[in-house]
Structure 1
Amino acid sequence: MEQRFEAYLDHLCDSLGHVDRHEGLRGYCQGLMLPLARKSVEPLAAGIDPHAVRARHQSLHHFVAKSDWSDEGLLERVRAWVEPALLREGGTERYWIIDDTGFPKKGKHSVGVARQYCGQLGKRDNCQIAVSLTLATERASLPVAWRLYLPEDWAADTARRTRAGVPEGVGFQTKPTIALEQVKAALAAGIARGAVLADAGYGNDTGFRDGLTELGLAYAVGVQGTTSVWPEGKAPLPPEPWKGVGRNPRLLRRDAEHRPVSVKALALGLPASAYRTVTWRQGSNTALSGRFAAVRVRAAHRDHQRTASRDEEWLLIEWPEGQQEPEKYVLSTLPADTSF
C-alpha cells in the first residue's frame, strides 16, 4: 500500500514543475491521510513532523499559499490516474454533476468571502463558494473541475482584490457561466460524457440549459415552480402573416388567450392518476422512493423573441404523499422513450 501511495504522489508531482515543490505536495498529502480532527496547515505540520513543527509549518504554508503551481494541472493528474479505474468498475451509466460547495468563514479578507447561501449551514451566512464538476458512476465519483466563485462586489473592489492577490484577469462570472466553462473544458479534455445533473441554482438559467444542448449533452436539472412551459401539444403561435410591406415577421407570438403556464400550475392541474410511486435504489437505511409525474413540455422562456420553438423535453414533478403541493421540478432532455 505504501508503495502504491508513493507511486501516486510521484504521478501528481509531475504537474508541479520545479522539483522544489515536490516535498510540499508530498507532506501535504501525507498529512491529509492522518487521523486529525483539523487539517489546516499547523496541525498537519505537527502530525507529519512533531520534532520540527515550525519548519514543517513554514514549508507547508509556502507550498499552499505562495508556491506557483496550477490547481487545474494537479486535478488533471488526479483524473488521469483515477478515471480509468472509475469507468472500469463503476457500471455503464455516466453522470456529470454540477454543484457548489460552501465553506463557512469569519471576517471578510479571504478571497470571495461574502454573506451568501451556504449549503453546509443550510442558510445564508459568511462563506466562500466553489463551483465544481464531478464525474460520477453508480459506484463512485471524481471531481474534475473546481473553481472559487468571486461575488460581484468582490470583483469590483480593486483594493480588496489587490490585498488578497486576485489575478487581474479574474472577473465576475455567474455560477452557471462558470459551470458551463467547466463543461466545455471537460469535453475538450475527452472526459467520458454523461448526463448533466444540477439543482435549480443552475437549471433556472435558460442560457445554461441551452448551452448544454448546444454542446450535445443531455441534462436533468432542477427548476423553480415559476418556470414557464408549454404543455404537451402546445407551442407559441407562429409569426404574424406578412402584410406585403416592411420586413417579413419572423418572431413567435403569444396573446392573451395563448400563453404558457408555470410548472407548478401544470403540476397542480394533473389528475391524480398521473402520479405514481417510484423506487430507484437502496439508500443507507432504506430504499429511496418518491411520488412522481412525468410529462412532455416545451420551455417557454422568452420564446416570443425566438424564430422557432424549443424542442420538447421532460418535466419531472415530485409530489410527496400528504403534502399540499409539489416539492421539486426537474427539466430533462433525456430521450422521449426514457422509462420512468
Structure 2
Amino acid sequence: MQSQTEGDTFTIPLPLARLPWTRQLSEDYAEAKAESSAWIESFKPFEGKSLEAFRSCNFSLLGSLFYAPREKALVRLGCDFINMASVLDEYTDIEDKSGTQNMVTAMDVMRNPNEPRPEGESCVGAIARDFFLRLRAHVPPDAPCLQHFFDAWENYISAVVQEVEDRSKDTPYQTFEDYRRLRRHSSAGGPCFALLEFGLDIPEEVYKHDLLKSIREKAADILALHNDICSYAMEKSRGISAHNAIEIIIHERGISLQEAMDWVGNYCSDLVDGFLHDITTLPSWELETGEKVSMYVNGLGQMLRGSDDWHFESDRYLGSKGSEIRQTRTVTILPPSSGYAMCGSTEDSGA
C-alpha cells in the first residue's frame, strides 16, 4: 500500500459521464443565488478569507442545477438548504463529538421552529430556524413530503455526529459496506431528494414502492461516492479523508491511491447502470400519478448530472482548475489546509 503525500498526482474516474441527462441550469439562478447568498451571510457564519472561500464554492449554483426544472420558490429553498448544510458541514469538521452534539442539538428547531433560540447558540440554530419556518410554509402541515424531509434530515444529522465520532477514534476506518450505509445519509442526499417531492403530491403507496426506494438509495450512493472521488485531494489536505471511500478502500484492500480511485469509480459506474435499469422497470400508474413519478425520477437524474457539473464548475474541491481537470482528469494532492471556520484557504484548494 502506497502512502499519499503532497504533490502526488492521480487520475480521477468519471463514472457519471454516461448519464443521459444534460446540464440544465434554472432560469432563476441569478436571482436565487443573490437572495440565498444574502440570506446565509446575514447570519455571519464566516468572515474575511473564510467568507471569500465560502463564496467561491457557489453552493447556490449546485441548488440551481439540482432543481433546474422547478419553480423559483423551490429552487430558492434548495439553494438555502445546501448553503445551510454546507455551513454545518464546515463547523462539524473542526468540532469533536461533544461540540458537534451540542451544535446539532439545535436541530430540534426542525419540529419546533417557533420557539426562540437560546443565548450563545451557534449560528446554525438560527439558520435552521429560519429555513424550517419557510419550508413548512411551502406545503400543508400534513403533507407526506414534509415528514419525508424531516426523517431524512434526522438521518443526516445522526450520520454527521457518527462521522465526527469515527474521526475521534484511534482507528477511524470502517469497512466499506458500513461506510457506504453511513455515507448515504451524511452526504445530505436524502433531504435534497425530499425537496423534489414538494408540490408533486406523490401517493404514499407509490413513494414507498420497492423500485422507487431502490432508485433513491442508488442515487444517494452515487451522489456520495462521486463526491468522495472529487473531494479526496482537498479532504486529504485537511486531514479528514478517513471519512472518504477512497481512503477506506486503500486501507481495506491494501492498494494504491490510483487503484482505489479506479475501484470506487467502477463501483459507482455499476450503481449508475443499476439506477438506469431500475427506472426502465418501473410499473405503470394511472396518468396523473405516472407523470408525477416521471418528474420525480427525472429530477433525481438531473440532480446527479447537476452534481457532476458543479464539482468541476465550483472552487469547492478542485479550486480554479475544475474545468482543466474535467478534461485531463489529473489531480494533485494539495498542501495542508484548514476549512472556512478556521479561516484557512488556498487558491487551489477551495477549502
Mark yes or no: TM-score above 0.5.
no
> What TM-score comes out, normalization by structure 2 length?
0.23
State the TM-score, normalizing by the size of structure 1.
0.23
Report the structure, 1 or 2, having the larger helix content.
Answer: 2
Q: Which has the higher strand share?
A: 1
- Greater CA radius of gyration, 1 or 2? 1
| Larger RCO, structure (CA 8 Å, separation 6 or more) | 2
